[in-house]
Amino acid sequence: MNARLPIEDLLDDFFAAIAEQGKPAPEEPISAEDLATVAEAVAPLLLPPSLVATWRRFQSGDSTVLTWMPMLPALHGLELWRQDFPASALFPLAYESQEFLLVELGTSATAGGALFRWAYDGGPAHPVFPDLERAFACAAEGWRRGVLSTWESPAQADWTQLSATYSQAADYPEHLAPFEAIDLAKPLSWPRIWQEASGIDPAAAEPRGSTTTIRALRDGQAGSGTIVGRIAGLSGTAAGSRAVIDDGTGELVVWCPAATDPFGSVVSGQHVELDVVLTSGNEKRSSREFDALATGISTSAVAGDLATAQAYALELGSFLDPAAADALATAARPLNEATRWGQTKLRDGYGAP
């Protein structure tokens, strides 16, 4: 017979606190089949035992609030994890209004279970609880205090204050304790365990130095090489970015496929090191053409001429194609700490892990 996990008692108390407020109990325990599907999908990462115990009790319901967000059924969370989450070690547990509560998955060296709050607005992920045990202990107290039954401003403030008492740096595992915020778009700033889980190798991001210049490439002295320059213009899609690189000797339009920039190196206004290969063909488009179309979209939209703005936008889309660039990037490496760390912030008194 399996020993009862500590979280089981906390879940009992969580259910009791909800019942005391006259609210319906959480519902929809996970099926064995769905649990196996999720576990297999995230492997070799591991589902924390506390998460499995929680799902076996419930996945959804009106009273499943954690940090104001209703929980997601596990299969829905898996669908989102497969599509949208840059850090493989984080799994979406709850969602509300473009904001997620993410749970850290386990590894062979770490138990997982820490909770993070993250929004689609480009901001970093913030740790909110060291583990699910503390999260549900806090939630039970929150229900009894009446701060999880309404979304009024005083209740929000009370919840923020209460949850902070359950989220002290010393309570987090060693690899997470230093972090006040983690920029999910900047893998070089992640805990090493997360990097390993996502296949990020920091050594591959180390600069190697330029081997040619844009002038030399344009003059035909080289067909490929490593350039270093500032990103003077940037646009893109999920497939990649169209970057205008200026190295002081000239400008080069470079198509950077998403797969060539795992470190988030291609950032407007920042310096970057790129391994490039010149492209061939007659579909190349100049930066002046691009800028003219972008201006046309803005001017037409402001004037209320949406049909013209849409026509400009359709033509502009042709620029976001490798064939419209001067060169293709095969690797991108950041050149400053701002690009490497982004919005990641360490707690006072901690150095970089």
Task: Write down the CATH superfamily of domain 214-334.
Answer: Nucleic acid-binding proteins (2.40.50.140)
Angstrom CA distances, 281 to 278, 322, 327, stand at 10, 11, 11
The predicted-structure confidence for 102-142, as pLDDT tens digits, reads as follows: 999 999 899 999 999 998 767 899 999 999 999 999 999 99
Give Cα 2 distance to the centre of its chain. Answer: 36
| Region 202-230 average pLDDT | 94
Residue ranges with strand state E in the chain: 90-96, 99-104, 115-119, 126-129, 179-181, 224-237, 240-246, 251-257, 271-278, 327-334, 345-346
| Region 315-321 average pLDDT | 63
**pLDDT at residue 284 greater than cutoff 60:** no
Q: What are phi and psi of 147, to 5 degrees?
A: -100, 0
What is the model's pLDDT at position 302? 74
**Residue ranges of domains in the chain:** 6-202, 214-334
Q: Name the token pair of 304.
A: 């209320």
**pLDDT at residue 276 greater than cutoff 60:** yes
What is the model's pLDDT at position 99? 87
The predicted-structure confidence for 234-266, as pLDDT tens digits, reads as follows: 887 778 889 999 999 999 999 999 999 999 999
